[in-house]
Structures are given as structure tokens and as C-alpha cells.
């Protein structure tokens, strides 16, 4: 089974057509491929074009990207959501949801947040900065 990263690598660098049968066509995930291409200035417009034309067959989308993207090594780390320790502390202390805790953080000062962290600190073997 081919992963989305194999398709991205074939579009960007190897230019080897991986979509040889129906099984490979089902394995192709346009969202993941377009997302990975959107990290680069020279391919973001092509990825956006495929997002606009999402109704096209997967094979047509793949072949379009294979033929229009220039051969080049491209690598970037995927953006991931970061957890905010202050937000987690406010959520745990008050029992709030994410949205409510974000609203509450606008009202709390740094000293209040540090006091909350100190109150919910449970201790343990690892030293955690509070």
C-alpha cells in the first residue's frame, strides 16, 4: 500500500508514476498531498488549484501535479497544534473547555496563572518548572 508521502515524493522528486491500478488510486489522498505541497512557495498555487477542482478524479489530480510541479527536493516539518501549559492549567483548575479557558486567560494576569499552576502542581520525581 502506498502512503500519501510516497505520492508527494513522486510528484516532487522521482517523477515515477505510482498510480498504476485502482488500488493505488484509492490509496491516493488529495487532501494530504495538497497540504504537503502548500508549504512551498513554488507549489502552493498548484495545490490550491487542486483544492478548487476537488471534484476531479484522483488520477487526474495526481497526473496534473506530476506534470506541472518541477523536480526538486522539498522537505518541511508538518505544522502541529501546540499545547499551551497555561491554558491546560486554567482548564484543569476551573474545569473549563478550550474556548472558555482562552477567554478566561485574557482576564488573568501572569501572577494569577503562576498561582494556579502552583495550586495544581502535584509533585513527582521530575522537576517541572512552574
Cβ atoms of 103 and 92 within 8 Å: the answer is no
Please state the pTM of the whole predicted model: 0.63
**Hey, what domains does the chain have and what are their CATH numbers?**
4-68 (1.20.272), 85-120 (no CATH)
Q: Which residue has the higher pLDDT, 88 or 1?
A: 88
Cβ–Cβ < 8 Å for 33, 11: yes
Q: What mean pLDDT, rounded, does the chain reach?
A: 89
Share above pLDDT 70 across residues of the chain, in percent, rounded to a whole number = 93
pLDDT of residue 13: 94
Q: Please state, in angstroms and rounded to a whole number, the distance separating the CA atoms of residues 26 and 82.
A: 32
Task: Give the pLDDT of residue 130.
Answer: 56
**Contact, 11 vs 3, CB < 8 A?**
no
pLDDT at 78: 75
Residue 44: all three cell numbers together: 502552493
Mean pLDDT calculated for residue range 108-124: 88
Amino acid at each position: 500500500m502506498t502512503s500519501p508521502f510516497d505520492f508527494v515524493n513522486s510528484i516532487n522528486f522521482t517523477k515515477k508514476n505510482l498510480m498504476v491500478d485502482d488500488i493505488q488510486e484509492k490509496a491516493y489522498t488529495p487532501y494530504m498531498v495538497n497540504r504537503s505541497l502548500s508549504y512551498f512557495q513554488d507549489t502552493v498555487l498548484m495545490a490550491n488549484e487542486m483544492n478548487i477542482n476537488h471534484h476531479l478524479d484522483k488520477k487526474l489530480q495526481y497526473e496534473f501535479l506530476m506534470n506541472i510541479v518541477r523536480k526538486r527536493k522539498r522537505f518541511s516539518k508538518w505544522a502541529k497544534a501546540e499545547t499551551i501549559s497555561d491554558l491546560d492549567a486554567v482548564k484543569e483548575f476551573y474545569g473549563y473547555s478550550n474556548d472558555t479557558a482562552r477567554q478566561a486567560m485574557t482576564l488573568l494576569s501572569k501572577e494569577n496563572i503562576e498561582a494556579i499552576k502552583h495550586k495544581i502542581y502535584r509533585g513527582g520525581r521530575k522537576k517541572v518548572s512552574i
